[in-house]
Copies of this chain bind each other. A is one copy, B any other.
Amino acid sequence: MGSKERIHRLKEQTRVNILDAAHDIVKDEGWQALSMRKIADKIEYTAPIIYEYYANKEAILLELTKKGFLLLACRMNEAKSKHEKLEDQIEAMWLAYWNFAFEEKEYYQLMFGVEVNCCIMDELLPPGSTPYDIAAEPIARLMGIEDIEDDRVCTKYYTYWSIIHGLVSINIVRKGTSDEINRQILKDAITGITRSLKN
């Protein structure tokens, strides 16, 4: 009977409903306000039913983190595709990263915050969708290196990431500094590193 499939579809639906509810709560109350009972309320079930779909709260957070990484990958690819020159691609991608961090602030904190370890993310994500996979390619090409995993590429990538992630973190934590100054620092740093790639 096809009812088996219908039920399977329904179960899959509540699985995404749970994640959506969690996402909503995280988005407008912060991820520390997320609770199993709140999710249950939103999907009009009782709390224990969630454990039928996810092992525990951490698993839900991890799933959200994954979604965040995919969304970030999407934004970066989008930005990249709008440019021809490698230098412009690099700049556009990091600016997209920057924008993502503030537009999807809760996602960003989940992804790079101290709580959730995103160490395992590399294995959990589909190949080619980590920020590294996306951003390292034009870097390598600009350096005249074909292997993405080359140490020299890796070093430069982390140099980019460090300064941008550092700026983002500081701006999330301390809201004092003006956006104008930060954008200046960001652009200066990006062009500075990009220039250094050609040596």
Given known contacts A158-B185, A185-B158, is B166 in contact with A114 (CB within 8 Å)? no
Q: How far is the CB of A112 from chain B (nearest CB, A)?
A: 6
Q: How far is the CA of A154 from the CA of B154 in the complex (A)?
A: 29
**How many residues of chain A are within 8 Å of chain B by beta carbon?**
37
Contact check, B189 vs A159: say whether CB atoms are below 8 A apart.
yes
Q: How far is the CB of A119 from chain B (nearest CB, A)?
A: 5
Instruction: Classify the secondary structure of A's interface with B.
Output: helix
What 0/1 pattern do residues 103 to 140 of A give for CB contact below 8 A with B?
A: 00000010011110111000000000000000000000
Q: How far is the CA of A118 from the CA of B189 in the complex (A)?
A: 25
Q: How far is the CA of A176 from the CA of B165 in the complex (A)?
A: 17
Contact check, A161 vs B170: say whether CB atoms are below 8 A apart.
yes
Contact check, B172 vs A114: say whether CB atoms are below 8 A apart.
yes
A163 interface residue (CB < 8 Å to B):
yes
Contact check, A162 vs B167: say whether CB atoms are below 8 A apart.
yes
Given known contacts A173-B118, A174-B118, is B166 in contact with A181 (CB within 8 Å)? no
Contact check, B185 vs A162: say whether CB atoms are below 8 A apart.
yes
Contacts of A154 in B (CB 8 A): 177, 181
Give 7 nearest A-B pairs by CB, closest first.
A166-B166, A162-B166, A165-B166, A163-B163, A113-B114, A162-B167, A109-B114
